[in-house]
Amino acid sequence: MAIYGVLLGPPGVGKGTQAKLLAGKFNLTHISTGDILRDAVNKRTPLGLQVEEIMKSGKLVSDDIINALMEDYIKNLNDGFLLDGYPRTIGQATFLDNFLPRYGKTLNIVLAIDVDDEEIIRRLAGRRYCPTCGRGYHVIYDPPKESETCDNDGTKLIQRDDDKPETIRERLRVYRERTAPLIDYYREKNLLEVVDGSGSIEEVHGLVLEVLERKGIVDKA
């Protein structure tokens, strides 16, 4: 059985990491909203040109444009997929439900990765980047040899604005307000499975595989 899935959860829970692991293991297409937007801009499609103007102005890309981009991308896929960052709202979820059957597809799993807010803040606020070579670090999980200094070139590491605690708390607030209602939406459709994301990448991946095996979506190892 092909996997047609959605990964839910606030920033910092590891959705992208788990999506990449699953995509590699089961030959799935990992569909990230950010990647789709960048691809449309780079290809200079009519929608991509609209997206570019909107992003340059600092505004949010509308649901209508996001929905159109997603439909245009997904309708051409032959294999399974994992959606990461879409849908973000009930409106987007309803649109997804309506257009998938037109292309012979329907969701069969929604994985909500659950991590405590304070752990999310610890994960994201600990990230550091080298502005010269672009290498990333984490002050707890992957620290540089010399404090706050890049191992490659000795440049002082920086913390991006998105990774500052006050910004993370605002991102979490927006998630709870806009996207968290999808938890109940998909629970009512009997698609939702909640996975504890507080463990290591390998531990969380094991829990995800257990869910997929239990649901009969993939064969047991």
**Residues 159, 164: Cα–Cα separation, whole Å:** 7
Mean pLDDT of all residues belonging to the chain: 92
Considering the candidates 38, 105, 135, 171, report the single residue annotated as catalytic: 171
What pLDDT was estimated at residue 112?
96
Q: Decide if 127 is catalytic.
A: yes
**pLDDT above 80: residue 58:** no
CB 127 within 8 A of CB 138: yes
Residue whose C-alpha is closest to residue 197's, from 20, 26, 15, 24: 15
Give catalytic status of residue 187 as yes or no.
Answer: no
Domains of the chain: 4-116+178-214 (3.40.50.300)
**pLDDT of 79 higher than 90:** no
Residue type, 163: D
Can 160 be counted among the known catalytic residues? yes
Residue 59 has pLDDT above 80, yes or no: no
pLDDT higher than 70, residue 221: no
Whole-angstrom distance, CA of residue 189 vs CA of residue 1: 19
- Residue 114 has a pLDDT of 95
Tell me, what amino acid is at 144?
P
Q: Is the pLDDT of residue 82 over 70?
A: yes
Q: Give 98's contacts (C-beta < 8 A, 6+ positions apart).
A: none
pLDDT in tens, 6-51: 999 998 999 999 999 999 999 999 999 888 888 888 888 888 888 8
Q: H or E segment at 17?
A: helix 15-26
The active-site residue, picked from 160, 169, 176, 189, is 160
Q: What percent of the chain has pLDDT over 90?
A: 73
Average pLDDT over residues 164-168: 93
User: Which of the following is catalytic: 15, 122, 123, 128?
Assistant: 15
**Chain segment 181-213, per-residue pLDDT in tens:** 999 999 999 999 999 999 999 999 999 999 999
Residue 102 is given by DSSP the state G
Asked if pLDDT for residue 158 goes beyond 70, the answer is yes
| pLDDT over 70, % of the chain | 100
**110 has pLDDT over 90:** yes
The CA–CA distances, whole Å, from 205 to 11, 78, 171, 208 equal: 17, 25, 25, 5
**Please, are residues 96 and 107 in contact by the beta-carbon 8 Å criterion?**
yes
pLDDT digits (tens, 9 = 90+) for 171-188: 999 899 999 999 999 999
